[in-house]
Structure 1
Amino acid sequence: MTAKNLRAALAADPELGAGNVLLKLREHGAAPDGPGITFDTAVDGRPPWTALTLGVLDERVAARAAWLHERGVQPRDPVAVFVTSAADCFLNFLALARLGAIPALMNGNMPGEYAVPFVRRLRAVGVITDSAHRALLGDEDLELGGLGHVDAAETGGGDPAKAPAHYRHHADDPVAITHSSGTTRVPAAVVHSHASLFAAVRRIRLTEPRPSGVVRELSVLPAAHAAGIITVNQALCNRYELLYMSAQGGEFVHSGAAVLDAIERWRPTGVFGFAVTWAELARYDLTERDLSSVRVWFNTGDSAHEAHIRRLVAAGSHPEYTPEGPVDVPGSRFIDGIGSTEMGHSAFHITHRPGSDRYGRCVGKPYPFAEVALLDLATGEEVPVGAVGHVALKSPTLAPGYWNDSVTTYRTRFRGWYLTGDLMYRDADGWYYHVDRAVDAVDLGGGRWLYTAMSEERILVGCPDVRDCTVVAGREADQVVTDVLLMLAAGADPDVDRAPAVREALGEPAAATLRRIVVVPEGEIVVGPTGKVRKFLMRQRHLAVTGA
């Protein structure tokens, strides 16, 4: 079956979802010697960077399913997966999905102090760990069921021939539990259904035109994230080659050097990452690296900064069609948007190219499957064009709620909408612009607001030698105070007076609250497991320590 016919058959299969992609690929005749997944770590005796074909991937998943089934794992059993490597994460996810169990994927950077209560809340039958994460959990009573603690190194030892038949998922079956980024609180357990976590792949990724030639995708997204599962499923269904990197080189994210090395070695045509990934790459002079294979950069999570996007679209290449045929010319595309674990998939998208000028935290327009409203929560009405409102969403990609936490589930619902926690405005042409998280925006009085995310965007544009920045603003007594924390590009002079540019970026009302501008080492910035800045902790720590 051709790739085109296979994609059409998959898109038309009503039973296909996030939990049974391998099964459906077999049923629809996908070649077993075709693309599976490549990992940068060893897998069951196979060296790092060795491609697992679809057939080998299916066999390795079956081995784990047999091993877990023999130890009593049943349909709808929650099982936590707390590991380092992407291979351990995805192979066990796929095995548990085959059994109809509910894998709860935990980011490997989650501290033990958060991981223990997270697992307890799951009421899991067991937890699959590697040695490093077993140590993080310590001797705490996790209130596990019969499976207990499992070493990830052992799960691949089952007999694939003894794996039970694939569980037949219903659209509403819980197929995975992931967790929020924890930027505003302890990471919450988000449950995804068989249908919701596959909705964007079905409606967009399987129906959009397939690029010509070989497609090779490199993902540096956290494996234990909804975006990671979506990336794997869309690559498998489209029969793309996929390299999934494990965390390496940095405490919270892949180091920029590791990502650049992987691009030069593996020659991907597309790279998937979070906004923090592009900030990491901004450490380096990209003209010194061979990024010519990259045609597209894909961003999700927080929307990316203009200063980082412009550097990336100047790198890479794209085909240009001439009378003599297509030729590769410099310059790539950057597909931006904004998403969250709860949204299940980015609801917005915009494509930047060399010469693009629609920035200012423009996240584009909604995907066809998403219905968006910007609301005034006091009245429940939509705000007018140009006014900032709370983002409300209806989408088939939405997570059904939070696992064992109905209070938080219903707190995010409002008159039939899901409230994302973001603030945006819309222009007259229907383009949406993200200004801040609602919990980070500061009311300056008189209808004026300080939006920290938009302020950071403008500071980076106004200060080219600043690689990244964080605006920390909060109320002390009866006044608002703002500190601007700068992380400089390599070779930048820390003694340069950047105050005029920072004040201009903030605008007059916010600049009046400015207390200080300081160059900080990266250890000063508090981030969550996925690398997002935890601004509520930054406010607590920074404003308390350096109080006016």
Structure 2
Amino acid sequence: MTIRTLRAELAGDPAVGAANVLTTRIERDLDPDRPALTFDTAVDGHPAGQSLTPRQLDRAVRARAAALHAAGVRRRDPVAVQASSAADNVLTFFALARLGAIPALINPLLDGERTSRYLTERLGDVPIVADREHLDALDGRPHTVLGPIGALADGDPRAAPDPYRHWGGDPVAITHSSGTTGLPKAVTHSHDSLYAAIRYRLGLPRPQGSHRMLSALPSPHAATLIAVNLALSFGSELMLLSRQTGPQVLDAIEAWRPGSVYGFATTWTDLARHDLAARDLDSVALWWNTGDCAHEAHIRRLVAVGSREQAARGGRVRTPGSVFVDGLGSTEMGHSHFFISHSTDSARYGRCVGRPHAFVDCAVLGPDGTELPAGEVGELGTRSPTLALGYWNDSETTYRTRVRGYFLTGDLMYRDEEGYYYHLDRLVDSVDLGGGLRLHTALSEEQVLAACPEVLDCTVVAARRGDKVVTDVLLQLAAGADPAADRAAEVLAALPAHVAATVRDVLVVADEDIPFGPTGKVRKVLLRERHLARAEG
């Protein structure tokens, strides 16, 4: 079977969605022995780094489904899943989906106390299956435990019930937000919503590098579920990393030779810490970013390495340099809603996230929900078949984030006359300075990074103290940069005058001084608390 035939079969069936791509390929004998998913840990006798076919994946999923069914899991039962390995997250998702249950995937970096609160306050004390490390972290807390996740592999594949037949609106996964402003929110995805962008992409030319993909995404995230189903729908090979640090991603690229790499903005920051020219990254034609948009300084480092095919006289040739596809998405949006491609000669930066995908209807909205014209800053509202159903057990927040059919993302943006959108900040992190001026922390970080080559990463923390706004600029330096050098003048010159006027300190900080959420986003709410305490002291 050709890849084109496989794609056409899946794209043409409206019953196919996020919960049944694997079972559909098996039931219809759609190339079930083609290499598909590779994990960085051993799976059911398959060593780490060895690709599993859909047939082998199906057997592993049926074993786990049988064990979960024997433990009493039935259709529509929400079940929490917390494990460190990508294999455990992906296979347990498919196993619960086979039963018609609803997997609630929890990031393994959430500690025991926050996981316990999330189970109780967000999910409503649903049962949990987890690895030993995370079960130990929950020890003594009153939660229903179905058992250690490793024991699921001992189920009898022959005892697995027939696959549940999903309807498009069925809830098929609960993933959570980044938790940068507090306890993560539980986001509910449907069979159709998690597959809508894949269905759209099945009708487009196959992107360069998509034959062999590396996922540096957190494995319990909605983005990973999309990447897995994309690979299964494209007939591609996908390797999933359980941990996504810079050295691990670089080592995996050199060893596995992917054509494209998927990650979050924090992934690219981590990679930029290293001498990329000294690594063998020639296989990479495409870097694909989702979640927060990436910084120009990091994108430029990445597109300078790798290689891609280009048309030339006499045929296609491999040329140095890669392409970086940037955008903006979130757990609730279900997929990046914008895209822009960068190469070594790109010039449209300044936190431009590009234009919306064809499946997106979006607008920049004022405080009263009215659409704003080009050039005016407002909150992004978006409509899309990829949007999540809402927040589990929280209809109040679900409806508060909806205006006239738009989902309010919490992002401050504007669009230009050409239809390109620019991301300035998260609404909760931006500060009103009065007189029509605002301090946008994310945009300020972009400006500092673009102007200061010795700065590897930057975090701008702004908070109001009475009638005054005070700002600290926290710098993380590239290797070899002098931490004692005074960079205040250079930083202030990079910022607009109304922002520079609020800056109190420009500080060089260590990596451990910046608190991150489980998905790698900076927890600015904690930094603001520290900032205010320091200001009051």
Question: What SS does structure 2 have at the residue aligned with 1:357?
Answer: coil
Superposed displacement of residue 543, structure 1 = 2.6
Distance 1:437 1:323 in 2: 46
- Tell me the alpha carbon deviations over residues 299-347 of structure 1, each in whole angstroms, 9 at most, x when there is no partner: 0010000000011011100112334432211011000001000001111
Q: Distance in 2 between matches of 1:273 and 1:239?
A: 20
Q: Which range is displaced more, 37-46 or 337-346?
A: 37-46
Cα root mean square deviation, aligned: 1.3
Letter in 2 for 1:495: A
CA distance in 2, matches of 1:139, 1:2: 53
Counterpart Cα distance in 1 of 2:128 and 2:83: 10
Match of 1:185 in 2: 182
Match of 1:495 in 2: 484
Q: Which residue of 1 aligns with 2:45?
A: 45
Matches within 5 A, 1:517-532: 517-532=506-521
Corresponding residue number in structure 1 for 2:165: 168
Contact 2:102-2:174 within 8 A present in 1 as well: yes
Name the CA distance, whole Å, in 2 between partners of 1:157 and 1:131.
16
SS of 1:217's equivalent?
strand
**Matched residue type, 2:482:** D
**Contact in 2 for aligned 1:78/1:124 (Cα 8 Å):** no
Which residue among 471, 475, 483 is the counterpart of 1:486? 475
Q: Is the 8 Å Cα contact of residues 327 and 339 (structure 2) preserved in structure 1?
A: yes
For 2:9 and 2:289, the matched residues in 1 are separated by 28
Moved more, 382-391 or 365-374: 382-391
Alpha-carbon distance, 1:195 to partner: 0.6
Alignment of 1:279-358 (within 5 A): 279-358=269-348
Which one-letter code corresponds to 1:188 in the other structure? K
Give the TM-score normalised by structure 2.
Answer: 0.98
Secondary structure of 2:36's partner?
strand
Aligned to 2:419: 430
Give the equivalent residue in structure 2 for 1:221. Answer: 217
Letter in 2 for 1:152: I
CA distance in 1 between counterparts of 2:179 and 2:38 reads 29
* Unaligned stretches of 5+ residues in structure 1: 248-253
**Which residue matches 2:117?**
117
Q: Does 1:134 align with 2:164?
A: no
Contact 2:209 2:286 in 1 (8 A): no
Conserved in 1, the CA contact under 8 Å of 2:119 and 2:126?
A: no
* 1:373 paired residue number: 363
Structure 1 range deviating more: 129-138 or 226-235: 129-138
Deviations 1:439-491 (A, max 9, x none): 00001110000000000001000110100010000001220000000000000
What count of residue pairs does the alignment treat as equivalent? 536
Q: Identity across aligned pairs (percent)? A: 57
* TM-score normalized by the length of structure 1: 0.96
d(CA) in 2 for partners of 1:505, 1:494: 19
Query: 1:186 is paired with a residue of what secondary structure?
Result: coil
Partner of 1:242: 238
Aligned to 2:465: 476
Distance 2:347 2:436 in 1: 29
> Given that residues 85 and 242 in structure 2 are in contact (C-alpha distance below 8 angstroms), is that contact kept between their aligned partners in structure 1?
yes
Q: Partners in 1 of 2:498 and 2:126 — Cα distance?
A: 54
Contact persistence 2:26–2:55 (CA under 8 A): no
**Structure 2 segments unaligned to the other structure (5+ residues):** none
Write the distance in 2 (CA, Å) between the matches of 1:275 and 1:27.
38
Q: Partners of 2:408 and 2:210 in 1: how far apart?
A: 39
Q: CA deviation at 1:123?
A: 3.2
Counterpart residue number, 1:90: 90
Equivalent in the alignment of 2:374? 385
Does the alignment pair 1:277 with 2:267? yes
Q: State the alpha-carbon separation in 1 of the partners of residues 274 and 259 from structure 2.
A: 20
The answer (yes or no) to whether the contact 2:25–2:32 under 8 Å persists in 1 is: no
Worse-superposed segment, 402-411 or 493-502: 493-502
Q: Deviations over 1:47-103 (max 9, x none)?
A: 211111111011100110111111211000001001100000000000000000000
| Matching residue's letter, 2:213 | E
Q: 1:264 aligns with which of 249, 254, 258?
A: 254
Distance 2:207 2:343 in 1: 17
Equivalent residue for 1:415, pick from 377, 396, 404: 404
Q: For the Cα contact (< 8 Å) 1:294–1:316, is it kept in 2?
A: yes
Alignment of 1:54-65 (within 5 A): 54-65=54-65
Work out whether residues 62 and 160 of structure 2, in 8 Å CA contact, stay in contact via their aligned partners in 1.
yes
Q: Which residue of 2 aligns with 1:447?
A: 436
Do 2:71 and 2:146's aligned partners in 1 also have CA atoms closer than 8 Å?
Answer: no
Q: For residues 168-192 of structure 1, what are the alpha-carbon distances to aligned partners after superposition, in whole Å with 9 as ceiling and x for unaligned?
A: 0011110000000011221011000
CA distance in 1, matches of 2:57, 2:459: 42
Q: Distance in 2 between matches of 1:472 and 1:211?
A: 38
Q: Which deviations, in whole Å up to 9, do the C-alpha atoms of 1:345-376 show, x marking residues without a partner?
A: 11111111110000000000000111011011
- Distance in 2, matches of 1:306 and 1:298, equals 14
1:546 shift after superposition:
4.6
Return closer, same or farther for 1:213/1:30 CA change in 2, 3 Å cut-off: farther
**Within 1, Cα distance between the matches of 2:371 and 2:356?**
16
Whether the aligned pair in 2 keeps the contact of 1:317 and 1:332 (CA below 8 Å) is yes
**Paired residues of 2:209 and 2:258 also in contact (CA < 8 A):** no
Q: Which amino acid aligns with 2:39?
A: F
Q: Does 1:20 align with 2:35?
A: no
3-state secondary structure, aligned to 2:461: strand
Query: How much does 1:219 deviate?
Result: 0.2
Which digits, 9 at most, give the CA deviation of each residue in 1:496-543, with x for residues without a partner?
A: 221122112221011111000000011111111101001111101233
Tell me by how many angstroms 1:222 deviates.
Answer: 0.3
Residues 379-415 of structure 1: per-residue CA shift (max 9 Å, x gap): 3222221111110011111111100111211111112
